[in-house]
Structure 1
Amino acid sequence: MPIKFLKNIKLDTSARSKSSNGKEVLYKSFVNKHILGAYLFPCKDLESNQPLFNDGFPSLIFMPRSSDDVVLKKKGETIKLKSAWVCCGIIQDTHWEIPDGLEYIMVIRFNPASFYSIFNIDPAIFQSAPVCGFRDIVDEKWCLIIDKMYERESIKDKIKFLDKVFSSCNIENNLPYFLQAAIDHIDEQRGNTTVADLLRKLGSKVNHKWLHRNFVKYLGIPPKKYISLQRFIYAYGHYDPKGSDLFDIALRSGYYDYNHFFKEFKQYLGIAPSRYSWG
């Protein structure tokens, strides 16, 4: 999803937040055992060329209408998707060309164990396609459910329908205990940690091979990369171009030096921090 929206999700725990001009920028809706959060983001005032980012958790994104197209730019290549699309895995240098007059997008963040079980998807598919069309990776049953969701006219009715659908899914949604403990610790540290520190925190019952295998199995990415994603999104989210120093933020977030942060910034967002539109 656009990194500016993911930043709001990661840093804001309230049901609703406001921008500096008083406009509402984030709405939070239903949460159940499979859904970490459902959000409605207004897009009318958003600049067209938005870099996408993912923190390792699957996100399903809905455009307002089933006829809406999604146009992405990835290193000069144009990718066209339909109205329902998925962000997962490691997204690099990929931008969303927001259509004129787009009112909003609806974002649903999933528990990873639930997501892959509900839709019968192998996390490995996102290694080559971290942003893809939802209909391209699920069976006909889910395509029909999405069609029924789009038949609802109001946003409230769409959300109510999806809440009912996902709440009725009786599948295993628990991550292994030590994997969940690892994810919780990384998030508490906001990515300012290492795999070695994580293993010390978890104790002697967990070794490097187990940790690596289970991160890849349930999230599709290794623990070192998961840590990197959290560190970057929190560093990005805490920078205020009007009142903070980016180099200081990077160091306090756990980067070795500015070049370390600069390299990851260009890798993920495809542009140098000095040329990035922070507004």
Structure 2
Amino acid sequence: MPIKLLRNIKLNRFTFSKSQEEKGVLGQQFSGKHVLGAYVFPCKDLKSNQPLFNDGFPSLIFMPRSTDHVRLRRKKEIAHLKSAWACCGVIQDTHWEIPEGLEYILVLRFNPSSFYSLFKIDPMVFRSAPVCSFQDLVSAEWSSMINEMYQKEGVSEKISFLESVLSEQDTDDYLPYFLQAAIDHIELRRGNTTVSDVLKALGEKVNHKWLQRNFVKYLGISPKKYISLQRFIYAYGRYGENKNPDLLDTALHSGYYDHSHFYKDFKQYIGITPSQYAWD
């Protein structure tokens, strides 16, 4: 999803409501366990060429109309996606060229195990294509559901329809206890930790091989990469909030060894340097 939207989600900049979509960014909680939240993100004031990012939790993004299309720039390549698209895994140097006049996007953020179980998708699919058309991944039944959603008039009606359909699904939302504890520890530290520190926090019952195997199985990425994603998104938020940002201060407080480490990650994920990036 657009990194600016994910930053707002991670920093809890949303007030959950069902009837305030006209006021701008809207966050809505779902009644079930599958979806962690639904977010309506206005796009009319956003500049085009928005960098995309994912923190390891799968997201579905819906354009306002089924006839809308998505144009992405991945380094020097151009990709065209359908109106519903998925963001999972590790996204690097990928930018969304927002069409002129786009009103909003609707984002659903999923529990990882629920997402892969619901839609019968292998997490490894997103290693080669972390941003792709959702309709190309799922069965005809789910594609039909997406088409039906697009028949609904307003944003709230679309969200209510999705909530109703997804809450009725019988799926596996299980995550091993120690894996969830590892995720919670990394989130609490905002990525300012290491795999060794996570293992120490979990105790002697968990070893490195178990942690590696279960992160890959349930999230599709290694614990080291998951930590890197959390550290970067929180550093991005910290750096962007400061009106007079100090790159070294941001890097050190976020768990980077030095500003070069942060610089390297920024180039890797966003494709340009912090000084070249349009923070507004």
Superposed, 1:75-154 pairs within 5 Å as 75-154=75-154
What SS does the aligned partner of 1:171 have? coil
Offset at residue 13 of structure 1 (A)? 5.3
Distance 1:13 1:272 in 2: 26
Q: Deviations over 1:108-158 (max 9, x none)?
A: 000001000000000000000000000011010100000000011111111
Distance 1:230 1:205 in 2: 25
Q: Secondary structure at the match of 2:25?
A: strand
Q: Partner amino acid for 2:217?
A: K
Give, in whole Å, the separation in 1 of the partners of 2:74 and 2:255: 28
Whole-angstrom distance in 1 between the partners of 2:158 and 2:261: 43
Match of 2:191 in 1: 191
Q: Quick one: structure 1 residues 277 and 16, their matched pair in 2 at CA, closer, same or farther if it must change by over 3 Å?
A: farther
Letter in 2 for 1:167: S
Tell me the SS of whatever aligns to 1:67: coil
Residue 279 (structure 2) aligns with: 278
How far does residue 246 in structure 1 lie from its aligned partner after superposition?
2.2
* CA shift digits 1:13-43 (9 cap, x unpaired): 54269xxxxx955211132210111000000
Specify the SS of the correspondent of 1:6: helix
- Number of equivalent positions: 274
Q: The residue matched to 1:72 in structure 2 has which SS?
A: strand
Going from structure 1 to structure 2, the CA distance change for 1:253 and 1:24 (only over 3 Å counts) comes to farther
**How many percent of aligned residue pairs carry the same amino acid?**
65
The residue aligned with 1:2 is 2
In 1, Cα distance between equivalents of 2:166 and 2:84? 16
Instruction: Name the SS for the 2:150 alignment partner.
Output: helix
Match of 2:26? 27
Letter in 1 for 2:121: I
Give the alignment's Cα RMSD to 1 decimal.
1.3
Name structure 2 gaps, 5 residues minimum.
none
Q: Distance in 2 between matches of 1:192 and 1:56?
A: 16
- What CA deviation, in whole Å up to 9, does each residue of 1:45-64 have, x standing for no partner? 00101000000000000000
| 1:53 alignment counterpart | 53
- Corresponding position: 1:260 with 2:261: yes
CA distance in 1, matches of 2:48, 2:23: 19
If the length of structure 2 is used for normalisation, what is the TM-score? 0.95
Aligned partner of 2:251 in structure 1 is 250
Q: Which 4+ stretches in 1 moved above 2 angstroms?
A: 23-26
Rounded to whole Å, the distance in 2 between the matches of 1:171 and 1:126 is 21
Q: 2:168 — aligned with what?
A: 168
CA distance in 1, matches of 2:50, 2:221: 24
Partner residue of 1:214?
Answer: 214
8 Å Cα contact 2:8-2:14 kept in structure 1: no
Determine if contact 2:16/2:28 at 8 Å carries over to the other structure: no
Q: Secondary structure at the match of 2:78?
A: strand
Q: For structure 1, which runs of at least 5 residues remain unmatched after alignment?
A: 18-22
Distance in 2, matches of 1:65 and 1:24, equals 20
Per-residue CA distance 1:220-244 (angstroms, 9 max, x = gap): 0000000000000000011235133
Maintained 8 Å contact 1:16/1:26? no
TM-score (norm 1): 0.96
